[in-house]
Structure 1
Amino acid sequence: MSVIHNTEKQSKQKLTLFAITWPIFIEIMLHMIMGNADTLMLSQYSDDAVAAVGVSNQLLMVIIVMFGFIATGTSILVAQYLGAEDEEKAIRFAIVSIFANIAIGLLLSIILLIFSEPLLRMMNLPPELMADAVIYLQVVGGFSFIQALIMTIGAVIRSHGFTKDAMYVTIGMNIFNIVGNYLFIFGAFGFPTLGVTGVAIATIISRSIGVIVLLYLLYKRLDGNLHFSFLRTFPKYEVKSLLKIGIPTAGEHLSYTTSQLVMTYFIASIGTEALTTKVYAQNIMMLVLLFSVAIGQGTQILVGHQVGAKKLEEAYSRCIRSLKIAITVSLAMGIIFYLFSNLLFSIFTSNQEIIATGSLLLLLTIVLEPGRAFNLVVINCLRAAGDVRFPVYLGILSMWGVAVTVSYTLGIYFGLGLVGIWIAFILDEWLRGLIMLWRWRSRKWQSMSFVKEKEKKQHA
């Protein structure tokens, strides 16, 4: 274990917000580019194909939430135990989480493979989009267990401070995905022209290569110290701890994702053009959002280490400083993207109604994204400190009581369409964000660390 200790000591010395966050930023940006590449390439093939893949991805987001509850618990527990200098316990949590997500991933993959068409019907998908959407959901969803592994192993590697590793893997995955899209969508170099099916195949191939490389990096970074002998008996403590964080976190993410599904249902009832506009707008908005996402994830790792080491004042200040950065950057990027909105939408489509409506949505995004920054940063800090239930209770109340209710009232009942639904997004994000900030300032999280003082002394 001395080798691991030396490795961790070296990584901890580099744990500054910038050192941890910039690779996360690049990694998330590349993930988003991968989604945008699919959308951009498919937009040259068919606007209907874009809408079909967009709705399928909404359902896949629900599945990713299921994987995320283990990955999030892993990230927090590994970070806290590394902060408490208990590397052995951190590795045990990593191993248990990988096996747990493989099991969950296989089960959900089978469900998506069998029930893809009934699930899409529940989304009120227009009939002309059904065939493409089913194919995409069956192929990508049927292999979604690969994504479960990517998320879990990536969480372990990032929590150890090796955020560059995950970034490099994502770069490679993007290259394979874009090349695969080009070959299968456009039938280049004699490959068959497969459209949506080709995009799905390219996605699976790139993810499969990515998970193989991540497994190798995990083994290398932990110097081969992946001991499985403790699994001879059921790892009750590790599973219980993972579920203690994961289930509430999954509840919040699941509530958000399902509320988004309901609002996608509302948009689908408006028409295919509205659905396509929403897909294009959210793909562009993701490029604004990624700054806050990266800062939030990087801050979560830092706060987890600081809370594990009982450096509570440092953790408190770190969250506030990160929040100020995230708000400033998201506001500035929102303004820039709005100023170039016509140009950005014209990359995807020549439909002037989609461009006009999409530009209006980006104007509203200037108000939306600073509010979202509160949630992405402060909620991650609360989780990292062990305060995992409060965000869930408030999130469910706001997402359904504000976002869904107001989106239907303004968007459908009063006929404001996508503009009304975007206003609902704004109200939800700002309400939750300000209350989360109040919760952080209350300092109730300071007594919620998963690494207790007694346990820390035992492993000293």
Structure 2
Amino acid sequence: MDHTAKKLTLWALAWPIFIELFLQFLLGAADTLMVSRISDDAVAVVGFSNQLFSAVMTLFVTVASGAGILIAQKLGARKGEDARKIGIMSLTVSGGLGLLLSVVLYLYPKEISAWLQLPSELLPLAETYVSIVGGGMVLVALMSSLSTAIRNTGNTKGPMYIAIGMNVVHVALNYAFIFGVWGFPKLGLLGVALSTVICRLLAVLVLLYMFLHTFERRIALRDFKLFDRGLFGEIMRIGWPLGVNMSCWVFSQMAIFSYIAMIGAAELAARTYMNTLESFCFMLGYSIALALQIQIAHLFGAGRMQEAYRTAYRGLAIGLGLVFVNALVIYAIGKPVLGLFTQDSTIVAFGVSLLGLNILLQPGKMVNMALQNSLNAVGDTKYTMWISLSSLSAIATGVSYWFGIGLGWGLTGIYVAMIMDEYLRGALSFMRWRGRKKLREAGGDMAVEVKPIRGVRQKGALDV
């Protein structure tokens, strides 16, 4: 096996992504734990704000995600110069969109939070946090574009190392600003916001240096003037359905957070704490799903369709085993862990009631992540967009309101609706991948595929 093949194995791609996601989880957990020392209201504001930021991120993630898939496909097809141009255009366009969003969030934080039904008693805290962290949204846009481009070349270790550095700096700055140590002023939630922006700025600078040396031909500053209309059209062809897909999910989550906010601040804080716990389970599956997308896109670009098809199932099997075991572990240790974040018995009780439902939720998420990412890797993004648009609108958003608010089932009802949505989208994605539509259309070795006789292994089949 040559160096490139080794670099693109599922394990080689997945483990750095997992470490990066794990560090992000630790960062989020440390953030939540430290902010909880300020107040439960501050925790609720941070959780609510993160949902808002996820929503606005969909605009530039549309470009970054489409570009990432195309970079992997072009490199698989040995078109390195096209991949380089795509990376450059992704950075410039995403940065421009991020700058526009930064201005809006900096100028209108209170109005946006009130429009999204944040309880009035939390608006002063939201105004501070949203204006500062949201004002730095351009940094998130640049980070997303840079890390996605680097990762899809097969270099998943680089973003991982940067995540390590971000964790160390962010936790240290959080501690300094919250508690006023080492000569820093005691700034509370304002300090947490400043810490977030500072860490992102440092990460962007390191990622940019890495990005300039990522492709075969070094990127110079003058290259950022490049714009290839044809390649950008390819980015948008794949990217805009991804943007709609992500928008559907993010806005459904925002709607759900709004429903929970209507129920009460304690429920909103409980959901924020549960997000932290669920992230530990989610990141294992997502690391496999992202690795699958990179690997399958490279295989697809190289015309190795049969290998791409089987890779998705192997990744799915691994992911299901991981998330199920971890959901059980979270169920077993959830109550004492929740007690680390808050002493409010009502919030802990709400969180504990959701731990059992999480065991059902996570396998459905895994099926979605693995198979939708596989479909996206081969350019079947419109299909994943339509199933997300339908299910997330009708079930994740509509049924959540019906169960949670209309029927009065609260958080439990909302979680039941979320589970229904995940399994429906997972089933539809499985049926589409099994049909191999895009793989057959592209040709490659799929065009000459011979159906195996039952009980006889197909000659030339490749194990991944």
Alignment TM-score, normalising by the size of structure 2: 0.93
Contact 1:386 / 1:450 at 8 angstroms: preserved in 2? no
Hey, what's the Cα distance between the residues in 1 that align with 2:17 and 2:372?
A: 17
Distance 1:176 1:443, change over 3 A: same
Counterpart check, 1:197 vs 2:184: no
d(CA) in 1 for partners of 2:280, 2:116: 26
Equivalent of 2:168, from 175, 183, 199? 175
Mapped to 1, the partners of 2:392 and 2:152 lie a distance apart of: 29
Per-residue CA distance 1:378-415 (angstroms, 9 max, x = gap): 11110100101011111011011111121111111111
Q: Distance in 2 between matches of 1:224 and 1:193?
A: 47
Aligned residues: 444
Partners of 1:232 and 1:63 lie apart in 2 by 26
Q: Does structure 1 residue 399 correspond to structure 2 residue 367?
A: no
Alpha-carbon distance, 1:374 to partner: 0.8
Instruction: Say whether residues 1:385 and 2:378 are aligned partners.
Output: yes
Task: Indicate conservation of the 8 Å contact 1:387/1:448, yes or no.
Answer: no
> Amino acid of the residue matched to residue 412 of structure 1?
I
What is the match of residue 423 of structure 2?
430
Q: 1:343 to 1:225 in 2, by over 3 A?
A: same
SS of 1:221's partner is coil
1:285 partnered with 2:278? yes
Matched with 2:293 is 300
Q: Give the structure 2 partner of residue 260 of structure 1.
A: 253
User: In structure 1, what is the equivalent of residue 33 of structure 2?
Assistant: 40
Partner residue of 2:88 out of 85, 88, 95: 95
Q: Which residue of 2 aligns with 1:455?
A: none
Contact kept, 8 Å, 2:89 with 2:226, in 1: the verdict is no
Residue type of the alignment partner of 1:238: L
Deviation at 1:229, TM superposition (A): 6.6
Q: Report the Cα distance in structure 2 between the residues aligned to 1:216 and 1:230, rounded to whole angstroms.
A: 14
Give, as a single letter, the amino acid of the residue that structure 2 aligns with 1:373: M
Given candidates 351, 354, 357, the residue that maps to 2:347 is 354
Task: Give 1:325 deviation, angstroms.
Answer: 1.0
- How far apart, in 1, do the equivalents of 2:443 and 2:63 lie? 16
For residue 211 of structure 1, the aligned residue among 199, 204, 216 is 204
Contact 2:88 2:226 (C-alpha < 8 Å) held by counterparts: no
2:257 counterpart letter in structure 1: T
Greater mean deviation of Cα atoms: 267-276 or 23-32 = 23-32
Q: Is the 8 A contact 2:260 2:411 kept in 1?
A: yes
- 2-side partners of 1:360 and 1:396: how far apart? 29
Q: What amino acid is aligned across from residue 278 of structure 2 in structure 1?
A: M
Matches within 5 A, 1:81-160: 81-160=74-153
Gaps of 5+ in 2: 445-464
Which residue in 2 is equivalent to 1:17? 10
Post-superposition offset of 1:77: 0.3
* Amino acid aligned to 2:163: T
Quick one: distance in 2 between partners of 1:64 and 1:392?
17
Q: Alignment partner for residue 74 of structure 1, among 67, 71, 81? A: 67
In 2: Cα distance, 1:316 partner to 1:146 partner? 36
Name the SS of the counterpart of 2:213 in structure 1.
helix
> Which of 329, 336, 339 lines up with 1:343 in the alignment?
336
Deviates further, 208-217 or 352-361: 352-361
Partner of 2:325: 332
Give how far 1:447 is off.
4.7
Q: Distance in 2 between matches of 1:79 and 1:148?
A: 20
Which residue in 1 is equivalent to 2:447? none
Alpha-carbon deviations, 1:350-385, whole Å to 9, x = none? 112221221121110000000010111111110100
Equivalents in 2 of 1:191, 1:247: separation in Å? 44
2:21 is aligned, of 25, 28, 36, to 28
The answer to whether the Cα contact below 8 Å between 2:63 and 2:235 also exists between their aligned partners in 1 is: yes
- Aligned match of 1:413: 406
Task: Give the aligned partner of residue 448 of structure 2.
Answer: none
Output the amino acid matched with 1:105.
G
Q: Give the CA deviation at 1:222.
A: 2.9
Structure 1: 5+ residue stretches without partners: 1-8, 452-460
Distance in 1 (CA, whole Å) between partners of 2:283 and 2:20 is: 10
Two-structure CA RMSD over aligned residues (Å): 1.8
**Aligned partner letter, 2:7:** K
Residue type at the aligned position of 2:303: K
Amino acid in structure 2 at the alignment position of 1:77: L
Please give the secondary structure, in 1, of the residue aligned with 2:108.
Answer: helix
- The residue identity in structure 1 corresponding to 2:416 is I
Compute the displacement of 1:189 (Å): 2.2
Q: Which residue of 1 aligns with 2:53?
A: 60
CA distance in 1, matches of 2:240, 2:330: 36
How far residue 330 of structure 1 moved from its aligned partner, in angstroms, is 0.8
Q: How high is the sequence identity, in percent, across the aligned residues?
A: 37
Indicate conservation of the 8 Å contact 1:96/1:238, yes or no: no
Pairwise CA distance, 1:220: 2.9
Per mean C-alpha deviation after superposition, the further-off stretch among 184-193 and 226-235 is: 226-235
Change in Cα spacing, 1:336 to 1:85, as seen in structure 2 (3 Å) is same
Aligned-partner Cα distance in 2 for 1:227–1:387: 33
Residue deviations 1:98-133, cap 9 Å, x none?
111111111111111112111100121112211111
CA contact (8 A) 2:38 2:189 kept: no
Normalising by structure 1, we get a TM-score of 0.93
- Higher deviation after alignment, 76-85 or 238-247: 238-247
State the 1:92 CA deviation.
Answer: 0.7
* TM-aligned CA distance change 1:234 to 1:220, over 3 Å: closer
The corresponding residue for 2:461 is none
